[in-house]
Structure 1
């Protein structure tokens, strides 16, 4: 069952916000392939698709968001969850905004919705990560109030966690206190 959330002034006109469902997985996989402009080639595309398996839409739908246009086309998504280990923390696992909607405020609106949701659950810290080569993402997260956490090494002035997601899968980790 799809439940549309209360309309928000922070979303562009003509868009609808809801929680994703398992049935959305195929469309999510297409977005993970197409929206990053070929970043990392076919290997990068496969890595993105593997990072968001169906289980995220089965088990973390209530803490994730999905934005569609009036015609039902996917415009943005945020996959997030409440930490099971740390009762203060929530985690943003993956966010995407359709390339034609970037800089429209959709991403920020989703982050702020997630911040409000996790605060309602008594959480006061949000963590996330990105790849060290994704300079736009690093800058975006810093503008959103996230701090880059110290890394074991530095690349181009950015602290990096080597092999964070496995051999050769370095990451930049962030934290934001709410």
Structure 2
């Protein structure tokens, strides 16, 4: 279902398709600003998590995407793994629309919280998540004035862990 029809916002949001993998992989590094070491930019992810992964399409071109899934271990949670928007489309509401689509979908599927992470150096990402109502999870240590989790994904590095309680979001 398209909650954001193209005629209204100049782009449409739809469920991801396995055939979207190649076009997304072809732009990911340019959009990210460097190498993307993500296991979710594979066709299997697009095939097995379609219900909770979405693309924004403008004039036939993918201009953004959100990749997420329902946690199997934590039955109340959904997790946003990766979000990107084309540089020429940033600031147009696409990221918010992608998050809204994900959040409404996982709420409809019975989840009560959404979790995601970002690097402490990504001030724009931190501000964006805060504007959307996400709260930073308390962690065992602070770095750069933020609560950080060391080695969140087993690859080293620090991450700020965000949580959105869906009961708090209207």
Please report the TM-score for the alignment, with normalisation by the length of structure 2.
Answer: 0.88
Larger mean Cα displacement after TM superposition, 8-17 or 25-34: 8-17
**How much has 1:12 moved relative to structure 2?**
5.9
Residue pairs, 1:1-20, within 5 angstroms: 5-6=1-2, 8=4, 13-20=9-16
Cα distance, 1:51–1:170 mapped onto 2, change above 3 Å? farther
- Structure 1, unmatched stretches of 5+, are 39-44
Asked whether the equivalents of residues 64 and 85 of structure 2 are also in contact (C-alpha less than 8 Å), the reply is yes
Question: Could you say which residue in structure 1 is the equivalent of 2:104?
Answer: 116
**How much has 1:136 moved relative to structure 2?**
1.0
Question: Could you say which residue in structure 1 is the equivalent of 2:159?
Answer: 171
Asked whether the equivalents of residues 76 and 107 of structure 1 are also in contact (C-alpha less than 8 Å), the reply is yes
Cα distance in 2 for partners of 1:23, 1:90 equals 24
Please report the TM-score for the alignment, with normalisation by the length of structure 1.
Answer: 0.84
Cα distance, 1:14–1:167 mapped onto 2, change above 3 Å? closer
Residue by residue, what CA displacement relative to the aligned partner does 1:128-170 show, whole Å, maximum 9, x if unpaired? 1111221111111111111111223222111111111224322
Cα distance in 2 for partners of 1:8, 1:56 equals 24
**How much has 1:7 moved relative to structure 2?**
5.1
Question: Could you say which residue in structure 1 is the equivalent of 2:20?
Answer: 24
**How much has 1:177 moved relative to structure 2?**
0.2
Cα distance in 2 for partners of 1:142, 1:79 equals 19
Question: Could you say which residue in structure 2 is the equivalent of 1:66?
Answer: 55
Cα distance, 1:121–1:11 mapped onto 2, change above 3 Å? farther
2:150 is paired with a residue whose SS is: coil
Cα distance in 2 for partners of 1:150, 1:7 equals 34
